[in-house]
Amino acid sequence: SGAADAAASRAESGSAALSRAEAERARWDPRLGDDTAPLVGEWKYPLDKPHGPVMCTSRRVRTGGHPGVDKQIMREGSVAERTPKDGDTCFVHYDMWQLNASGEEVWSTRRESEPHQIVVGKAIPASDGKRRHHPALYECVRAMVPGERALFRVPPELCYGEAGNFSFPAVPPNCWMLVDVELIGAKGGETMERADMLYEERIERVKSHRTKGNELFRGGDVAAAAREYEMSLSFLTDDMMMQLFGAYLDEAEGEKLPAHLNLCACYLKMERHHDAIDQAGRALGVDPTNAKAFYRRGKARRALGQDEAARADLLKALGFSDGASDPAIERELAALDGEEKRSNHALRGVWRGLFDPTGFEDAGVDADGAKQRLDDVDEAGKKPGKEAGGRGKRFFGRLLERLGFVSDVLTSDRGTHT
């Protein structure tokens, strides 16, 4: 009967949707040793948990070190550099979460944009609650190269053990950890830890890393330059900055500002626009009237399609520039105005041509080219056919097609989103 057939069809459709959802969940939680997963895949933070735990589609493999530790590569590093060994000082960013149903955050260096320094293999007293997880970090960086970012699953004995930790951080007994580690750089022969350095020794290292970063940037190695700026900033910790005053504070801020600005410039070139926005904001925390910081943040926001915020930043950059005039800022504003005009024109074209299938030309674009883009997208799924359904279906079909066309126009100049 027709009713039975319809019910069977709905059940089949629901089953197919469930299978697709299950496959997608499995893709974001690959099994250990599943060779069908890509070696370097995608990663993201869940929508309901913007601070993690992070999810990754990359292949899970054993590190070959401590039993139980496995790794997923989130971003490949520099093959020209070696893996750290015991005694090396490593500069890392990391987030650590409990690998259980709670997914509670244990540590994060990214929140403060303050890279951590560890000496690989250094013994940590059991009473040191703040650094009891360092053996886990040692195990991670021994399986990485500088520039690499990877996700690790680490057993309890490398973190807080059978007893866990009562507070700061609170960790339950026998808790595995999920650790997102970025190895910024590794230095051999560093005999003194940051905490033991005098102010002059820290500033010397800050200047050294920043100078090397400038050389690498001008030479075209932007990724390596970014790592040098990160290492430079790792010596300008908040706890040190709060203790400075007078000429010492002026000198430290004079180093901190260009390091953030230069790191922002690197991230713009690397199309890591969210990171560029973060670094520009930190530069503005040092100098709230810095035209270059507003300009670079405006460029990053424009790339992400945040047009109003981009315009506000660019206008502030123009206002704080010498003579309230700068050709680069004015060009960026003009480009933003041009995008807005094209977007508005495209939207008008949608409604003007909605009832007339020939109306694509009114939007100021080649109809065949726009249709080809739609066909390219549709190849991944079922292409719309000439089904019976009268004027209603043709109307809504044209509406959906035109909205897709406008999406192409609106995103054509946005760059790569991160």
pLDDT tens readout for residues 106-117: 999 988 778 899
User: Mean of the pLDDT values across residues 366-373?
Assistant: 38
Rank 21-35, 95-109, 372-386, 398-412 by mean pLDDT and report only the highest: 95-109
Say how many Å lie between the first and final Cα of the chain, rounded.
Answer: 51
Least confident of 39-53, 164-178, 365-379, 383-397: 365-379
Q: What is the CA radius of gyration of the chain?
A: 26
Which amino acid is located at 327 in the chain?
Answer: P
CA distance linking residue 252 with residue 264, whole number of Å? 19
Whether a cis peptide bond, with omega within 30° of 0, leads into 53 is yes
| Whether the predicted pLDDT of 149 surpasses 90 | yes
CA distance linking residue 392 with residue 66, whole number of Å? 64
Query: Would you state the pLDDT for residue 252?
Result: 93
Backbone angles phi, psi at 393, to 5 degrees: -65, -40
DSSP-assigned letters across all residues of 237-278: -HHHHTT--HHHHHHHHHHHHHHHHHHHHHHHHTT-HHHHHH
- Overall size of the chain counted in residues: 418
Residue 285 and residue 253 in contact, taking contact as beta carbons nearer than 8 Å: no
| Whether the predicted pLDDT of 390 surpasses 60 | no
User: Mean of the pLDDT values across residues 241-256?
Assistant: 93
| Whether the predicted pLDDT of 47 surpasses 90 | no
User: Mean of the pLDDT values across residues 149-159?
Assistant: 96
Query: Would you state the pLDDT for residue 363?
Result: 42
DSSP-assigned letters across all residues of 215-246: HHHHTT-HHHHHHHHHHHHTTS-HHHHTT--H
Residue 363 and residue 344 in contact, taking contact as beta carbons nearer than 8 Å: no
pLDDT band at 378 (very low <50, low <70, confident <90, very high): very low
Q: How many helices (H) and strands (E) does the chain have?
A: 12, 9
CA distance linking residue 255 with residue 210, whole number of Å? 8
Query: Would you state the pLDDT for residue 12?
Result: 63
Say whether pTM exceeds 0.85: no
Q: Nearest CA to 257 among 225, 282, 231?
A: 282
Query: Would you state the pLDDT for residue 238?
Result: 86
Residue 179 and residue 82 in contact, taking contact as beta carbons nearer than 8 Å: no
| Whether the predicted pLDDT of 292 surpasses 70 | yes
User: Mean of the pLDDT values across residues 25-42?
Assistant: 92
